[in-house]
Amino acid sequence: MISLGHVLVLTVFLFAAGLIGALTRRSAITVFLSVELMLNSVNLLLLGLGRHLGQVEGALFAFFVMAVSAAEAAVGVAIVVAFIRRQGTTSIDAANLMKW
Amino acid sequence: MLSATVFFGLALVAFVGALVLVFHRNPMVAAVGMAVAMVGLGVLYMILHVPFLGLFLIIVYAGAVMVIVLYVIMALGLEEQGPPVGAVQTVLTFAAALLFIFHVYRLTRGAAPGPFPKVEPVFGSIQQFGHLLVSQYAVPFEVASVLLVGAMIGAIVLSRRDWT
């Protein structure tokens, strides 16, 4: 029998893995995918909480988060493509235009 | 009710996929790791009694997002360039991740939630979702559709060669 604790542990470890990926990788695509991973780990927690409380609103909210993240994925990939075309590199260190 | 063994198997699949995504230097392999993680998570959604959302996750992420990302990688030939980030940044990042895990553990210590309660079969069904989306949550649903159209136009604008 699984409980909310199981779901929480998996969520925390997936989120930590995504955090490490987003902060230690240089490839813009990998950073983007890591952010998606963090987003989905939180979605899993929403589902688990809704299941724990016996309310379907948790899953419904996860549904809306997924719709927003699909929009974010489309725009995010377009930004990455434009960035690579402009800078000629995938390294996010090249994104220093607004860096002081 | 499914046993914990199934959960652990799926959690292992998702976590291994996530580790491949985070630590593999070849972005193509990383994207495949993401697809594996998403399939594992999608089946987990199904055993959490929301089967339709699990299918949705697999279609959207292991399908749509993955195809876009693989197209970008193949079209632009993305190899990881430059040296890895500095040792200080790596150590600090791992410390932050461990601190995060520790704090969640500290906050939830002592709270032992029982196993998931039994729910009626209609819970999480596509009928229930449909009813809620056209009645109680109609406005957020419409806002999400407008957002998707806006994102589509934004992606086209950003991809135009003469504008970037």
In a domain, A98, yes or no: no
In a domain, A86, yes or no: yes
- Residue B45 has a CB neighbour count (10 Å cut-off) of 27
Q: How far apart, in whole angstroms, are the C-alpha atoms of residue A58 and residue B47? A: 15
- A19 contacts chain B (CB < 8 A): yes
From A99's Cα to the closest Cα of chain B, the distance in A is 18
pTM: 0.90
Amino acid at A19: L
Q: From residue B151, give the alpha-carbon distance in Å to each of A34, A42, B49, B51, B113.
A: 20, 22, 31, 27, 40
From A18's Cα to the closest Cα of chain B, the distance in A is 7
Which are the contacts of A9, defined by CB distance < 8 A and separation ≥ 6? Answer: none
- A33 contacts chain B (CB < 8 A): yes
Tokens for B23? 């630590």
Expressed as residue numbers, the domain containing A9 is 4-93
In a domain, A100, yes or no: no
Q: Are A64 and A47 in contact (CB under 8 A)?
A: no
The reply to whether residue B34 touches residue A77, judged by beta carbons under 8 angstroms, is: no
- Chain length of chain B: 164
Q: How far apart, in whole angstroms, are the C-alpha atoms of residue B112 and residue B91? A: 32
* Predicted pLDDT of residue B14: 94
For residue A68, the domain's CATH number is 1.10.287.3510
**Residue A73 dihedral angles phi and psi, to the nearest 5°:** -65, -40
* Predicted pLDDT of residue B85: 76
- Cα radius of gyration rounded to whole Å, chain B: 20
Chains A, B: CB contacts under 8 A, how many? 222
Pick from A40, A49, A83, A85 the residue to mutate for testing the B interface (most B CBs within 10 Å).
A40
Q: Are B54 and B43 in contact (CB under 8 A)?
A: yes
CATH code of the domain made up of B2-120: 1.20.120.1200
Residue A7 pLDDT more than 80? yes
Q: How far apart, in whole angstroms, are the C-alpha atoms of residue B50 and residue A43? A: 12
**Burial of B161 per CB tally in 10 Å (0-12, 13-18, 19+):** exposed
Amino acid at A43: N
Q: Are A90 and B82 in contact (CB under 8 A)?
A: no
* Predicted pLDDT of residue B43: 92
- Cα radius of gyration rounded to whole Å, chain A: 17
Of A94, A46, A50, A97, the C-alpha closest to A69 is A46
The reply to whether residue B104 touches residue A8, judged by beta carbons under 8 angstroms, is: yes
Number of independent structural domains in chain A: 1
Q: Are A68 and A38 in contact (CB under 8 A)?
A: no
Q: pLDDT tens digits, chain B, 164 residues: what are they?
A: 567 888 899 999 999 999 999 988 888 888 899 999 999 999 999 888 888 899 999 999 888 888 888 888 888 776 665 566 788 888 999 999 999 999 999 988 877 777 887 777 778 788 888 899 999 999 999 999 999 999 999 999 988 877 65
